[in-house]
Amino acid sequence: MTIFAGEQPRLLPLLSAPYVPPITSDAVIDLSHWQAPVDFARAKSAGIVAVILKATQGLDWVDVAFAQRFAAATASGLLVGAYHFLDDSPPELQMDNFLSVAEGCSVLALDAEPNAIGGTVTVAQTAEAAGRLNMATGFMPLIYINRYGPDQRGTGLPNSVLSRCPLWLPAYSSRPVCPPGWSKWALWQHTDGNIGSDAVPVAGIGRCDRSRFAGTIADLVTWWKNPQL
């Protein structure tokens, strides 16, 4: 697949139809070092199947809990992925930081939400980062973005880099709406543990972000090995 770094998106309408597939699995959580302590064995016994751990942010920040939690979650039998919190610094250098920590994970995610401290990433920078990961790993990363950001451009053309990435949609309503460029999500983050649908603590973890997968648990296990749209 050819990826064009710095691909420029085109403005598209912001609204699309809500998407909720007939079968979903509420079995994925995401964590950073802020959530502590954690007991992955208890979480697994309560029905959690997968966890996406914060690995890196910006050019050089590394989550101090990532390595230990990656090992602990894997030992507990959970599927484990990693995410990078993007800022507006050079995408290639950010991905060098991410890959130095999370290389080997089949599920890699890019968090493109607004960043009040490091500067919010643009759509073009997000596309460049996704292309860099694709070239390095052979997989398209999950993109964590809602229909309001960054800069309200969505993903641009239907065949753009980002529209070829699985969507991880944060939406705390019962009818999640995808950003332009996507007609469906792979993961729907429906609660942060305090607000949203089914906002209840997770055993062994407490209140945390929780996501539904678009499919069965068996589908999730298969998809995790080769994440695709």
- Domain membership of residue 116 (yes or no) is yes
For 2-23, the pLDDT digits (tens) are: 223 343 433 334 446 789 899 9
Asked if the structure places residue 16 within a domain, the reply is: no
Residue 78 domain-assigned (yes or no): yes
The average pLDDT across 57-71 equals: 97
Quick one: which of 140, 80, 136 has its CA closest to 110? 140
Instruction: Give the pLDDT band of residue 150 (cuts 50, 70, 90).
Output: low
Parent domain of 101: 25-225
Residue 196 within any structural domain of the chain:
yes
Other CB atoms within 10 A of residue 154 CB? 27
Domain count along the chain: 1
pLDDT in tens, 73-105: 999 999 999 999 999 999 999 999 999 999 889
Kindly report the number of other CB atoms within 10 A of residue 194's CB atom: 11
Residue 68 inside a domain? The answer is yes
Residue 74 to residues 32, 81, 99: CA-CA distances in angstroms?
A: 16, 10, 19
For the domain that residue 75 is a member of, what is the CATH number? 3.20.20.80
Q: What is the SS3 assignment for 2? A: coil
d(CA 60, CA 4): 25
Q: Which of 14-28, 152-166, 179-193, 206-220 has the lowest mean pLDDT?
A: 152-166
* Residue 7: inside a domain: no
Residue 1 has pLDDT above 50, yes or no: no
Domain membership of residue 5 (yes or no) is: no
51 part of a folded domain: yes
